[in-house]
Amino acid sequence: METILLNTENHVAIITINREKALNALSTQVLTELNQTLDEINANKDVYCIIITGAGAKSFVAGADIAEMKDKSVEEAATYGQFGNEVFRKIETFRCPVIAAVNGFALGGGCELAMSCDIRLAAENAVFGQPEVGLGITPGFGGTQRLARLVGAGVAKEMIFGARNIKADRAYAIGLVNAVYPAEELMGAAMKMANGIAKNAPIAVANAKRAINDGLQSDIDSGIAIEVKEFADCFRTEDQTYGMTCFLEKAKEKTFSNK
Ligand code: CAA
């Protein structure tokens, strides 16, 4: 693939958006190759966690490709928006956790890509924003929906209506990112977190992700019912018996089998 790099280390897949000259802007080619890469990773049951980052030191993703969008018709814009949303929803509902390692600009579609991930870690030089109204459009890959859910409607509206970018420290203060690191420490921190997740029972982690995500879209009683089902389903797995046996036998090391 031209625009996506994929490296797998142990149980962690690292996806790099690789279009550095255009600050990793999301052309249709990037979105298509990202979509294919996610399908490829999904077929590899040994991957327990994903990290998404951008090539180079300056940008995570500087948005959807403005040059490609400029002359789109209404119908073409709808198709493009639909496709971007499908790819990002695939990330949000992916069977294992996805960490965004935000190494610079995360604007428009870049902020939306980061928000479709489960956890966002940022470098000190990261900049977040939804500058679309300054281009005469609205956010189109989930920004109007996920930003308000993550940081609350008031701050989301302030950022979106004002096309106001924010730096990493402000993103941390409003809960948009989990942690901020010096740029040179970002990937190490993301790998450490991913490896920590990958050490746990993969099916239990997947069930917990589904319970949190589906529960957030439900009333509390439906959410509790979702949790009870995901919790009980773990008792079908070998990893549940193994994990509890390890605890009771005071085992120092454990390796889950993903079964
Ligand atoms: N689309 C296409 N090309 C882009 C791009 C984008 N979103 N962002 C940057 N580029 C290209 C620039 O056109 C430039 O290309 P050339 O060298 O061929 O001229 C190259 O990347 C480097 O960019 P700059 O020279 O502008 O770099 P800078 O350091 O001066 O500025 C920046 C960096 C502030 C991020 C600036 O590039 C910028 O504002 N980019 C656009 C950000 C934006 O508006 N994103 C939202 C897009 S709309 C969207 O995403 C809709 C949606 O929700 C689906």
Whether residue 61 has its Cβ less than 6 Å from ligand 1? no
CA of 52 to the centre of ligand 1 (A): 19
What CA–CA distances, in Å, run from 241 to 96, 199, 253? Answer: 21, 16, 15
Q: 115-139: per-residue pLDDT in tens?
A: 999 999 999 999 999 999 999 999 9
Confidence grade of residue 57 (pLDDT, cut at 50, 70, 90): very high
pTM across the whole model: 0.98
Q: 165-219: per-residue pLDDT in tens?
A: 999 999 999 999 999 999 999 999 999 999 999 999 999 999 999 999 999 999 9
CA of 73 to the centre of ligand 1 (A): 21
Whether residue 54 has its Cβ less than 6 Å from ligand 1? no
CA of 96 to the centre of ligand 1 (A): 31
Residue 221: per-residue pLDDT: 98
Phi, psi of 206 (to 5 degrees): -65, -45
Do 60 and 114 form a contact (C-beta atoms < 8 A)? Answer: yes
Return the best residue to mutate from 20, 23, 28, 68 for the ligand 1 pocket (most ligand atoms within 8 A of CB): 23
Cβ neighbours for 85, distance < 8 A, ≥ 6 positions apart: 140, 141, 142
Query: Annotated active-site positions, please?
Result: 112, 132
Return the best residue to mutate from 24, 28, 66 for the ligand 1 pocket (most ligand atoms within 8 A of CB): 66
Nearest protein CA to atom 11 of ligand 1, as residue: 22
Whether residue 107 has its Cβ less than 6 Å from ligand 1? yes
CA distance linking residue 53 with residue 4, whole number of Å: 10
CA distance linking residue 202 with residue 131, whole number of Å: 37
Q: Residues 149, 153, 157, CA angle at the centre, nearest 5°?
A: 120
Share of the chain above pLDDT 90, in %: 100
Whether residue 43 has its Cβ less than 6 Å from ligand 1? no
Q: 58-108: per-residue pLDDT in tens?
A: 999 999 999 999 999 999 999 999 999 999 999 999 999 999 999 999 999
Nearest protein CA to atom 6 of ligand 1, as residue: 65
Whether residue 141 has its Cβ less than 6 Å from ligand 1? yes
Whether residue 163 has its Cβ less than 6 Å from ligand 1? no
Nearest protein CA to atom 47 of ligand 1, as residue: 63
Residue 152: per-residue pLDDT: 97
Mean pLDDT across 6-32 = 97
CA of 51 to the centre of ligand 1 (A): 23
Number of the ligand 1 atom closest to the C-alpha atom of 59 = 35
